[in-house]
Amino acid sequence: MMMTPGSGGAVGEPAAAAGGPAPPGEADRPEHDPPVDGAPGPQPPVDLLDPRNYINRELSLLAFNARVLEQAKDPRTPLLERLRFLCISSSNLDEFFEIRIAGLKQQLALGMAKTELDGLSPAATLEAVSEAAHRLVAEQYRVLQEVLLPALEAAGIRVVRRQAWTPAQQEWVHAYFSREVLPVLTPVGLDPAHPFPRVLNKSLNFIVSLEGSDAYERTSGTAVVQVPRLLPRLIQMPPRIASGPNDFVLLSSVIHAHVGELFPGMRISGCYQFRLTRNSDLWVDEEEVDDLLRALKGELPGRNYGDAVRLEMPVQCSPYMAQFLLAQFKLSPQELYKVDGPVNLHRLSALYDLANRPDLKYPAFSPVPRPAPDLFEQVRKGDVLLHHPYQPFTPVAELLRQAADDPNVLAIKMTVYRMGAQSPMAEALIGAARAGKEVTAVVELRARFDEATNIDLATRLQEAGAKVAYGIVGFKAHAKLLMVVRREGATLRRYVHLGTGNYHTGTARAYTDFSLLTCDERMGEDVHRLFQQMTGLGRVVQLSKLLQSPFTLHTRVLELIDQEAAAARAGRPARIVAKLNSLSEPQVIQALYRASQAGVQVDLIVRGVCCLRPGVPGLSERIRVRGIIGRFLEHSRIYYFYADGQEVTYLASADWMQRNFFKRVEIAFPVETPVVRQQVLEDGLWTYLQDNVQAWDLLPDGTYRRSAPEDAAPARCAQEMLMERLTGG
C-alpha cells in the first residue's frame, strides 16, 4: 500500500498547486527502456489502410486461447494448475462461440456483411476461424489424453475409464446410477408424439439408437437423454473400491454404462454424448422498453435456447447420428467438433478442488494482511495506491464498510459492473441505505453473464431504499467509481476510489489491477459530475482531471500519441508504453503506426486481442507487442507517454477498443504524485517489459513466440518478482 503526502483536499477548498519532484532521470530507468532520440530517415509512403497491416480480431482471440493452452503444456507449471489452464482455454472457447461466432453468423443472416480493416468479410472470417478453432480443439484433447491424464495418473489422480473398472467399481457405479442418476433422467423417444426436445446451451446430452419395439409397438429407433445440470459431472470413488484417495469417474461414463436401463427390452446399437453451444448474447431494445430490469429479466431464460452455433460429439459417433443432429440444429458439417474425450472439458476443473493435492498447485498465496485503521484519516494524509492481488483489496471494501457505519458520512455513490449479490461490499452498500444514508448505485444490468446477479443486487438495493440507475441507454457503465461524501467540521470532503478492475472481492484475488484511494478535490469534483451525468440529464460537462468515454478519452489518447510523434520528428525523446487487455480500435492503431514511423519507441503489453501488426518495416518496426500469461489474469490498464519528460500516466477501466471508446462509460485517471506514478511505472510496466518467462512476443506475421532467457541471463517472471517485492514472499 503506497501513501503519498499532500494530495488531500476538502470540497470547496482551492486546489493544490501543481508541481513536485522532477521525474526520474534516464539513468534511473531500466536499460531496456530508454526513450528514443531523433526521427528515422526518410521512409517510403505506407498505406495505413492496407488490410495486410491488420490482424483479424477473431483469429487474434483464438491465438490468445492457444497461449493459455500452452500453459497446460508447460512442465514448470504445477500439474493441477496445468489442468486448470486447459479448462480455462475450453471455457474461453465456449464464450468465443457463444458471443463472437454467434455475432458473425447474425451479421450474415441479416445481410450485414461488413468487411473489417483486415480485409476479411464475416463469411471469410468464419471460414478462417473454423479452421483455427478445429486445430485448437484437437490440440486441447491431445494435451488432455497424451499429456495431462497420464501425468495425473502417475501422480495418483485417476479418471477411471469404463473399460478399466474393477468388478467392485462396476457394482458401486451401478448402485450410484440407480440411486442418484436414474431417478432424475427422462429419456425421450423420438416420434410424432415426442418431437426433438429443446436442448439447453452447453448441456450434456446423449443421442441413442435403439433396435426392437417397445411396449406400445413403437419402433422409431432414436431417443435423446438430457442430463440435468444439478448432477455432478465428476464423481469421487470411495476409498474401499479405489486404488487411491483420488480416483474419479465421469458422469458421462456412468450414464453410458447403464443407458440400457432407460430402455428396457430394447437393444442399444449406439450411444453418443453431444453438447450444443448456442448464441448467448442478450439483446433488448433499450429505447423501446419502459423498465430495463424487467425486460432483461424476461430475456434471461431465452439465453439457454438461442440459435445453435456449434455441435460437439465424440470421435466415435456414427456419421448418421452426426448428420441427424446437424440437420436438427441447422448446422453445417464445419460446425461439428469431434472430440476425443468428454464433450465439456471445463467440467474437469472440479478435479482441482476435489483432489487434495496442494503439492500439485501453486503455493498458497494471499496478500499480506494490513490493519484496518481509520481509512478516512489515512487517505487524508495522502493518496493510497494498491496493486492487486499482491496487495489486498481489503482497504477498498473497508472504506465502504466504514462509510456505511460512520454517522458523519452523508452520501455514498458507486458503480457496479461485477460485484456479486452476496459480496461484503454489496452488504455494506445495502446496510448504508438502510441506515438512512443517501446511497446511489449505478448498476450495469448488461454485464455479460452477470445479468442475473446484477438484477438481484439492484432489486435488493431498491428494497433497502437506495437510488438505483441502470446506466445510460445505449452505453454500458463500465467505469469503476466509488465516492463517499463525509462531513468534517464546516466542510464536506469527497473520498473516492478509482480502479482498473471490478468491485468483486473474488476476482481481486485472481486479477492484477490497480486501485487509487484519494480525496483530491478536483478528482472528487470530477467523480461527482460523472455520477450526476449517469443518473440525471444534462449536457457534457468538462472534467478537470479524468478522461471519459464516450466523450474525451479517445480524442485525448490520439492527441497524446500524436504529441509523441511530433516530439520524435523534432528530434526530442519520445516514448509510449501501454498495458491493455485488448487493442483493436483502428484510429488508435493508425496513430501508433504514424508514431513508429516518426521515430517513437512503442511498447505494448496486450494480454488478449491485438489487431496491430508490429515490427513491419516502414510501418511499425519501432513497435513491440507482448502479452503475459501466468498465475494471475493480467487485467490492469495503464497508459504512459513520455511527454517531454512530464511522464503523463493514466490508469483506466478502458481497453483501446471501439466499444470502450464509443459504446461505454469509461474513465482514465491520471497518476500525478511522483512517488505513486513511479510505483505504477515500475510495478505495472517496467517489470513486465523485463519478463522472459511468461511473456509472449507478437511477431510481424501475427504469430507469437514465447520469451526465454538469453544465454546466461537470469530468468525474470514479472508476477513472481511482484509477489516477492510487494509481499516479501
Q: What's the pLDDT band for 217 if we cut at 50, 70, 90?
A: low
Compute how many other C-beta atoms are within 10 angstroms of the C-beta atom of residue 74.
15
Whether 464 shows a pLDDT value over 50: the answer reads yes
Average pLDDT, whole number, for the chain? 88
Q: Distance (Å, rounded) from C-alpha 329 to C-alpha 311?
A: 9
Q: Which residues, at least 6 apart from 217, have a Cβ–Cβ distance to it below 8 Å?
A: none
Q: What is the pLDDT of residue 364?
A: 87
Q: What is the pLDDT of residue 22?
A: 33
Output the CA–CA distances (angstroms, integers) from residue 674 to 25, 524, 577, in the order listed. Answer: 12, 20, 17
φ/ψ region of 465 (left if φ > 0, alpha if ψ in -120 to 50, else beta) reads: left
Whether 719 shows a pLDDT value over 90: the answer reads yes
Q: What is the β-pairing status of strands 158-159 and 247-250?
A: parallel
User: Tens of pLDDT along 57-74?
Assistant: 999 999 999 999 999 999
**The CATH number fitting domain 57-285+292-360, selected from 3.50.50.60, 3.30.70.2970, 2.170.130.30, 3.30.1840.10:** 3.30.1840.10
pLDDT top residue among 113 and 338: 338
Q: What is the pLDDT of residue 317?
A: 95
Dihedral sign (CA 337, 341, 347, 351) = negative
Dihedral sign (CA 267, 270, 272, 276) = negative
Catalytic: which of 388, 478, 504, 635?
478
pLDDT top residue among 324 and 23: 324
φ/ψ region of 221 (left if φ > 0, alpha if ψ in -120 to 50, else beta) reads: left
Place of cell 470547496: 12
CATH number for the segment(s) 548-727: 3.30.870.10
User: Tens of pLDDT along 643-655?
Assistant: 999 999 999 999 9
User: Tens of pLDDT along 124-151?
Assistant: 999 999 999 999 999 999 999 999 999 9
Q: Which fold has domain 377-540?
A: Endonuclease; Chain A (3.30.870)
Tally of CA atoms within 13 A in the half-sphere of 113 that contains its CB: 11
Place of cell 445440470: 229
pLDDT top residue among 1 and 384: 384
List where CATH 3.30.870.10 sits in the chain: 377-540, 548-727
**Annotated catalytic, 478?**
yes
Q: What is the pLDDT of residue 293?
A: 53
User: Tens of pLDDT along 538-586?
Assistant: 677 889 999 999 999 999 999 999 999 999 999 999 999 999 999 999 9
C-alpha cell at 345: 472439458
Q: Which residues, at least 6 apart from 407, have a Cβ–Cβ distance to it below 8 Å?
A: none
For residues 584 and 656, is the Cβ–Cβ distance under 8 A? yes
User: Tens of pLDDT along 587-602?
Assistant: 999 999 999 999 999 9
* Angle between helical axes of 122-142 and 102-109 (0-180°, round to 10): 150
Q: What is the pLDDT of residue 561?
A: 98
Q: What's the pLDDT band for 25 if we cut at 50, 70, 90?
A: very low
User: Tens of pLDDT along 289-300?
Assistant: 445 555 545 555
Dihedral sign (CA 24, 27, 28, 33) = positive
Whether 181 shows a pLDDT value over 90: the answer reads yes
Q: What is the pLDDT of residue 6?
A: 39
pLDDT top residue among 364 and 680: 680
Mean pLDDT of 663-682: 95
